[in-house]
Amino acid sequence: MDAAVAAVRVMEDCPLFNASKGAVFNIEGKNELETSIMLSRPPLSHPEISPTRRGIALTLLTRVKNPANLARALYLSPSSSPHPFLSGANVEAIAESLGETLVDPSYFFTEHRWREHRRGLGLPEEPFPENGPTALDSFPTGTVGAVALDSRGCIAAVTSTGGRTNKLVGQMRNGPKWVVVLVLLVSQVRVMVRGLIGGGRCPEDCLLR
């Protein structure tokens, strides 16, 4: 899990990706971020976590610098987040209590996403917000994610996204849902590969039930 979160965090900090720093704008010119994390079983380092707790999804984040970090923190803190899907200002208040970094919404501004937003609405690409443009030398790319498989054969998958350009305010995209599908798919592929290369079998407690 830590490896997958670390990989996504690097991409969240890069303005080229549609996640955190490079997130797209909604129809009102604001950034609303989403993230999710899914595990085939809880990590051994946290035996107090129920084996039925397989993941968490967050949406409508506007101030969390690294949403993937927050998803990890909340997953590992069932008392702070007993629910699998949280959104908005309430979850950001929890984030602050957990020591996660919150930023001013202007942090997420990038010139290429702003131009994309304005073009999509049929408006002139300028003016820019007060914090001004951030020039880039490369074309932006999309939603980010990472999957890690540990030595026990257990899987962790993480996604982070800004959603779709000019989405309606408050729209919840499919990013948090697709990580579940991804884990299921990778889990089945892993079982098939083990069978093909020698009849190996993943320990029962590592399989998705």
The residues assigned a catalytic role are 143
Q: CA 196 to CA 209: how far, in whole Å?
A: 22
Using DSSP bridges, classify how beta strands 85-87 and 55-61 pair: parallel, antiparallel or unpaired. Answer: parallel
Secondary structure class of 36 (helix, strand, coil):
strand
- Provide the token pair at 156: 């962790």
Question: What's the per-residue H, E or C state across 4-28?
Answer: HHHHHHHHHCCCCCCCHHHCCCCCC
Q: CA 66 to CA 63: how far, in whole Å?
A: 9
